[in-house]
Structure 1
């Protein structure tokens, strides 16, 4: 199941999301106003 966070979550919990991406090697999908906007992943995964 994909990990989906809002842009507010990214702004408020950057370190937590960054750690998740690096440790899990999974992307996090970022929404803005309820719509898909970005995908965040570690540089190693990219």
Structure 2
């Protein structure tokens, strides 16, 4: 269930809101005059969202590239290439 609080709680109950966002890793939605105004979340959760968005963007990019080419690689081929790259980086 989402946590919805009036924006005044940010000032009056900051410690409680901070505890909620850190313990639950869920955002607190703040309202102003009965309408949504802001979202407060922990830095950890914000970074998780950013990381997931980056992964999604990379997967979308890979999907677009895959749709524009018939070239496919097996699991073994991909990991063989990755291992070779890692060895080169370790040496160089």
Normalised by the length of structure 1, the TM-score is 0.93
Number of matched pairs? 46
Determine the structure 1 residue equivalent to 2:30: 30
Deviating above 4 A after TM superposition, structure 1's stretches of 4 or more consecutive aligned residues are: none
Structure 1 position 45, deviation (Å): 0.3
* Root mean square deviation, CA, Å: 0.6
| 1:26 alignment partner, SS class | coil
Determine the structure 2 residue equivalent to 1:12: 12
| Unaligned 5+ runs, structure 2 | 47-92
Residues of 2 paired with 1:9 and 1:43: CA distance? 19
Structure 1 position 8, deviation (Å): 1.1
Normalised by the length of structure 2, the TM-score is 0.49
| Unaligned 5+ runs, structure 1 | none
